[in-house]
Amino acid sequence: MSVRWLALLAFAQLCAGGSAEAQSLYCSAAMSNIQFGTVNGVGQGATSVTGTMNINCSSASTPYVRVCIALGAPVDMSWDPRYLAGPGAQRLAYNIYTDSGYTQIWGSAFSSAGLPRAVDLTISYGNGAASVPYYARVPVQNGALAGAYSATFTYANDAAVRAAGYYGAPPACDSAMTIVSRFEFSVSATVNPDCTVSASTLDFGQAGLGLASTPVNATGTISMTCTQGVSYSIALNAGQGSGATVALRKLTRAAGTDTLSYRLYRDSGRSQLWGNGLSGTGTVAATGAGIQTVLQHTVYGTLPAQAVPRVGQYSDVVTVTVTY
């Protein structure tokens, strides 16, 4: 009986001692989720968000506390850059920084890319608090595919609070400092399919009497910039000329009603009419190569041999419709 009593007493003393030590210093950190929204659109540039992390400490035995906030790398164990996981194995690069210049990566004692964030608190009446800013950014990424991307900094591994009390110089933020709490937050962003289109003027130049027997050819360009992997098709309407169709368009004389017939083709051999899929015409289909990569599609135009109308400047406006 005496042996059992001594063992029980020793156990009780260890528990009481551990509890008192844990209660002498406690710190916590909390922050809202980082939501980038829609990112990486054509011409959008980098997307940046800022926010604050709230730190609270309680201590009955020290006037100052050094708090070290460590952020891990929950996706692929990569700090520079960090990644958000998307559909399948897709990744979207981003990072979280400690400075408004977006140069100092917020890391941990185990990261070579950046250090943990050190915050020194003055304890007054047993408590101290601070709001610490963070800066997060998704850079422009030419090859990012459309989809929803996210990452979660979990309690278990990715967001830890280390803390130590001090009187003189603050201690270093390193792995030897005690972890006093953990926290959790998520990061999310969405890449939407996006395209922009522009077109150059197709100029047939000067057509004289030779047009009665000899066709005149010219080319123009439709330039497309789309999110990586986005399928699109380009259709051309009939233009504005009176009586025009997608198979035979009309240039109209300025300040008049005279017209010149012309055709637009998808191929250099000028055998595949470019229109909207009607009247024997087709559209041009392709796949986006990234928001910084311009794909150019040549429009092949022909003024077929025809009766020469009145002298003047002839023009038309064709609407380009992109479906993606």
Per-residue model confidence (pLDDT) at position 8: 28
Long-range CB contact pairs, 76-85, < 8 A, 24+ = 79/105, 79/107, 79/111, 79/112, 79/113, 79/114, 80/105, 80/113, 80/114, 81/139, 82/151, 83/151, 84/149, 84/150, 84/151, 84/187, 84/188, 84/189, 85/149, 85/150, 85/151
Helix-, strand-, coil-residue percentages of the chain, each rounded to 5: 10, 45, 45
Per-residue model confidence (pLDDT) at position 250: 98
Q: Which domains does the chain have, with CATH numbers?
A: 26-191 (2.60.40.1090), 195-306+313-323 (2.60.40.1090)
**Are 314 and 211 spatial neighbours (Cβ–Cβ below 8 Å)?**
no
- Paired with 303 in beta bridges are 216
How far apart CA 239 and CA 282 sit, in angstroms, is 16
How far apart CA 6 and CA 236 sit, in angstroms, is 93
What three-state secondary structure class fits 281?
A: coil
How far apart CA 227 and CA 248 sit, in angstroms, is 33
Per-residue model confidence (pLDDT) at position 24: 86
What three-state secondary structure class fits 99?
A: coil
- Average pLDDT, whole number, for the chain? 92
pTM to 2 decimal places: 0.86
How far apart CA 296 and CA 116 sit, in angstroms, is 47
Per-residue model confidence (pLDDT) at position 10: 30
Per-residue model confidence (pLDDT) at position 248: 98
**Residues of the chain with confidence (pLDDT) below 70:** 1-23
**CB 9: neighbour CB atoms within 10 A?**
10
